[in-house]
């Protein structure tokens, strides 16, 4: 069941609360689920449960590469590890370990990367991954997900545990605009149409879902009809959904809190180029490093607002 309840308002639940309740719930439901963190349990609300369950929650200290390796060793023993660090560290700080010890050696693990892109706000440029999806997309057989809201986070975590391969899930710790009614299930790999439209389609992920919906509402007043599709599974991309909407609208925009290279924009472009070519514009970071600031400052600074989405839609329609 998926029920879309978007009205622009924030979901009252923080994603770190969802992580803090879902990880213990998964571990309690399945004795093979094991959670590893790298000195960031307090950041996702798992510290208290972790302290009470030292056999189920392993604090590896500030040693992400080692943590991935340990998780892979556990996977070879039949465990289903869920590992966490900030997105910057759970991608680039341990990528060779994720690539070889997990991917190549076929030790299946779920990797959580919190505070993707501009949601890293006050931690600044060193902590602001605009490249994490690009890295994990390049890992053969991987699944790459950019979470839309707390409800989706819960659903995705439940599915990841038993999914083969390396699963990378990026999610902000704060809240998101509520898109799905609590209890909705969002099957990995299936795009979700949030809004129908005929002039253009916006494929969006993560915080850009809200911006895309706002842009679509504003454009409607200008007489432009825009579809918005939640492409939360960036890999494997839903090829049918991309082609279906490219065909229906003839104009595509991608919107992602990530570098324009290697993430959603690349994934959608690859499908369009090979299967159903139509004009495409992107709303993404223009190959820059991050910097410090509030999220609203950073969204403006890196061109990740509803206005930028609207502008891209107008532009892509003009190219039809």
Partner 1 sequence: MTTETKELKALAAKIRIAALTAINSIGSGHTGGALSIADALAVLYGREMRVDPANPSWPERDKLVCSKGHAGPAVYGTLAVKGFFPYEELRTLNQGGTRLPSHCDRNKTPGIDMTTGSLGQGVSLACGMALGEKLRGRDSRVFLIVGDGETNEGQVWEGFSFASAKKLGNLVVLLDWNKRQLDGWTVDIHDMGDFEAKFKAFGFDTVKVNGNDVDELAAALERTRKGGDKPYAIVMDTVKGAGIKEVAETAMNHTYPVTDENLAIWKERLEAEIKELEG
Which residue sits closest to ligand TPP, CB atoms considered? 39
CB 204 within 8 A of CB 233: no
Of 41-49, 135-143, 202-210, 276-284, the window that binds partner 1 (rule: CB under 8 A) is 41-49
Residue 225, contacted partner among partner 1, ligand TPP, none, CB below 5-8 A by kind: none
CB 61 within 8 A of CB 37: no
CB 206 within 8 A of CB 148: yes
Q: Which of 32, 39, 288, 307 binds ligand TPP (CB under 6 A)?
A: 39
Distances (CA, A) of 141 to 18, 65, 243: 27, 20, 22
Nearer to partner 1, 236 or 293 (CB): 293
Residue 65, contacted partner among partner 1, ligand TPP, none, CB below 5-8 A by kind: partner 1
Q: Which of 17, 196, 292, 315 binds partner 1 (CB under 8 A)?
A: 292
43-62 mask for ligand TPP (x: CB under 6 A)?
Answer: -------------------x
What's the per-residue H, E or C state across 209-263? HHHHHHHHHHHHHCCCCEEEEECCEEECCCHHHHHHHHHHHCCEEEEEEEECCCC
Residue 292, contacted partner among partner 1, ligand TPP, none, CB below 5-8 A by kind: partner 1
Q: Which of 127, 121, 59 is nearest to 93 (CA)?
A: 127
Q: Which of 13, 56, 80, 93 binds ligand TPP (CB under 6 A)?
A: 93
CB 173 within 8 A of CB 14: yes
Residue 174 CB burial class (10 angstroms; 0-12, 13-18, ≥19): middle
Q: Cβ of residue 145: shortest distance to partner 1, in angstroms? A: 24
Residue 60, contacted partner among partner 1, ligand TPP, none, CB below 5-8 A by kind: partner 1
Maximum distance among all Cα pairs of the chain, rounded to whole angstroms: 59
Q: Report the distance separating Cα 55 and Cα 77, nearest Å.
A: 14
Q: Does 47 bind partner 1 (CB under 8 A)?
A: yes
Residue 198, contacted partner among partner 1, ligand TPP, none, CB below 5-8 A by kind: none
Nearer to ligand TPP, 61 or 187 (CB): 61
Q: Does 16 bind ligand TPP (CB under 6 A)?
A: no
Q: Identify the bridge partners of residue 170 per DSSP, sorted by sequence position.
A: 113, 146
Instruction: State the number of binding residues for ligand TPP (CB under 6 A).
Output: 5
Where along the sequence are the contacts to partner 1 (CB under 8 A)?
37-43, 47, 59-63, 65-66, 88-89, 93, 122-127, 291-294, 297-298, 301
Where along the sequence are the contacts to ligand TPP (CB under 6 A)?
39-40, 62, 89, 93
């Amino acid at each position: 069941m998926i029920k879309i309840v978007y009205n622009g308002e924030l979901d009252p639940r923080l994603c770190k609360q969802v992580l803090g309740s879902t990880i213990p719930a998964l571990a309690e439901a399945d004795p093979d689920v094991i959670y590893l963190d790298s000195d960031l349990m307090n950041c996702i609300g798992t510290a208290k449960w972790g302290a009470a369950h030292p056999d189920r929650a392993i604090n590896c200290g500030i040693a992400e590469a080692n943590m991935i390796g340990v998780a892979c060793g556990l996977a070879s023993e039949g465990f289903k590890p869920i590992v966490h660090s900030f997105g910057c560290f759970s991608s680039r700080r341990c990528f060779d370990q994720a690539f070889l010890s997990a991917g190549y050696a076929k030790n299946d693990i779920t990797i959580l990367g919190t505070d993707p892109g501009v949601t890293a706000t006050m931690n600044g440029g060193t902590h602001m991954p605009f490249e994490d999806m690009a890295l994990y997309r390049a890992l053969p057989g991987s699944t790459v997900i950019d979470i839309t809201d707390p409800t989706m986070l819960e659903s995705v975590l439940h599915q990841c545990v038993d999914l083969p391969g390396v699963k990378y899930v990026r999610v902000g710790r704060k809240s998101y605009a509520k898109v799905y009614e609590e209890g909705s299930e969002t099957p990995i790999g299936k795009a979700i149409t949030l809004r129908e439209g005929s002039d253009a389609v916006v494929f969006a992920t993560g915080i850009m879902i809200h911006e895309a919906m706002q842009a679509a509402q504003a454009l409607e007043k200008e007489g432009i009809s825009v579809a918005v599709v939640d492409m939360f599974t960036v890999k494997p991309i839903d090829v049918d959904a991309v082609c279906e909407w490219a065909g229906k609208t003839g104009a595509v925009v991608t919107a992602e809190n990530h570098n324009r290279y290697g993430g959603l924009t690349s994934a959608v472009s690859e499908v369009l180029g090979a299967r159903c070519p139509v004009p495409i514009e992107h709303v993404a970071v223009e190959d820059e490093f991050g910097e410090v600031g509030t999220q609203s400052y950073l969204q403006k600074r890196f061109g990740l607002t509803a206005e930028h989405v609207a502008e891209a839609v107008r532009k892509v329609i003009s190219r039809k």
